[in-house]
Amino acid sequence: MPELTTFSIVARCPRTGDLGVAVATAVPAVGGLCPFVASGVGAVSTQSWVNPYLAIDALAAMAGGASGPDALAAVLGDDAGRALRQVGVVDAAGRAASHTGADCTPYAGHRLGDGMAVQGNMLTGPETLDAMARAFADAAEADLPERLMRALEAGDAAGGDKRGKQSAALKIHGTEAYPSLDLRVDEHAAPVTELRRVLEIARHQLVPFVAGMPRRGQPAAGLPADTAAMLLRPPPGRPGGGGSLPEPRA
């Protein structure tokens, strides 16, 4: 049976409470199927023979008061295909859990740490997961997007998906119901490397824009003048570069 071969990390930042997922695979558009995050609730990556309802229902259970480990146990208990599933969860208190079904294609496994879970299947070997967990722990002083990105890069460098590379994604939620970052590389020969490039551009151009967006209970104040002026310029002329210049008109 075909699987969505994936290596991922779900985690919570102990300083900010931000929640996020970073994931990569050798199938297009992994960011649309695997990572699920709810602000103030939890983060989930569902993979292998993917069942998105496991993530959706686990987040609903956590929103109702269940811990991440209890939510994962509950949704797997109702899933006849759990031997083919791989799921990692972390809740808003940093309680993490992971499940690797007995029928996931080897190498398959997971690692748990403080506020995080790493999981992968059809990998080159356990070194992918070990490198991810170590990179995340070693970057404790960095913000959550950076810690997740470093973990994904470490897994990629250690071997990653044994079939090759195709897509990667990084999704972060802070205090608002919408994501503070939702970055995707959907079809690329080096998706993790490309995701890093996109993240660096987003730090200069997207993060300031999102910081000025409306928030619950606060009136929309509009963008700061410097951010608005920056975004009026063509992308190559902005901090971080990227994009392209407009096509010349005839």
Q: 248 vs 116, which has greater pLDDT?
A: 116
Q: Which helix (H) or strand (E) holds 154?
A: helix 144-158
Phi, then psi, of 138 in degrees rounded to 5: -70, -20
Residue 2 has pLDDT above 50, yes or no: no
pLDDT tens digits, residue range 3-32? 566 899 999 999 999 999 999 999 999 999
Residue 221 has pLDDT above 70, yes or no: no
Q: 73 vs 26, which has greater pLDDT?
A: 73
Residue 186 has pLDDT above 90, yes or no: yes
3 state SS of 207: helix
- Helices 127-138, 144-158: crossing angle, 10 deg rounding: 150
* Residue 205, CA atoms < 13 Å, CB-side half-sphere: 21
Does residue 51 contact residue 5 with C-beta atoms inside 8 Å? no
Mean pLDDT of the 34-49 span: 97
- Domains of the chain and CATH, by start: 6-192 (3.60.20.10), 206-240 (no CATH)
Residue 53 has pLDDT above 80, yes or no: yes
Residue 97 has pLDDT above 60, yes or no: yes
Lowest-pLDDT range of 58-72, 93-107, 234-248: 234-248
Token digits of residue 18: 């931000």
Lowest-pLDDT range of 60-74, 143-157, 214-228: 214-228
Per-residue model confidence (pLDDT) at position 5: 62
pLDDT tens digits, residue range 163-177? 778 999 999 999 999
Mean pLDDT of the 199-220 span: 90
DSSP 240: T
Which residues share a beta bridge with 118? 9, 111
Q: What is the pTM of this model?
A: 0.94
